[in-house]
Amino acid sequence: MRECFGFLLCASLLFSCSSQSQEEKAMLKEAYELQLEVIEGVKDLKLLTALERERKDSLEHILHEIEESLFAIPGYELELPGHEGHDHDHSRISLSSKEMLDVQHELHKQVTHLKSTFQTND
């Protein structure tokens, strides 16, 4: 009986620690999809070649900061070109699913603004 209780306790702890609500899963999925758009936007902006050197240096600095702020979203893999072997592990990030989604919304907004600013002035 004691062994059965121990097994049930361990099983319930494992299940409760690893389970996420459907709402959290949906938020993480949306955050990941936004992150993919951010990565694609950064890639597009890096291809701009008709900028003056000073503006291009400024843009490259901003894009580097955005790339450094990306982190792996639990359940999804972060594939950031040029950052292979660089640690973007989420184990050090202690954000809720909602906060992760908010961060990705903000990064997406920044990249969208940069694209409209630099591509219209290209």
In a domain, 93, yes or no: yes
Domain encompassing residue 39:
21-120
Q: What is the structure's pLDDT at 78? A: 87
Q: What is the structure's pLDDT at 87? A: 53
Give the separation between CA 89 and CA 73, rounded to whole angstroms. Answer: 8
Q: What is the structure's pLDDT at 37? A: 96
Give the separation between CA 102 and CA 99, rounded to whole angstroms. Answer: 5
Q: How many domains does the chain have?
A: 1
In a domain, 14, yes or no: no
In a domain, 13, yes or no: no
Q: Is the dihedral of CA 92, 95, 100, 102 positive or negative?
A: negative
In a domain, 4, yes or no: no
Q: What is the structure's pLDDT at 14? A: 41
Q: Which residues of the chain have pLDDT under 70?
A: 1-19, 82-92, 120-122
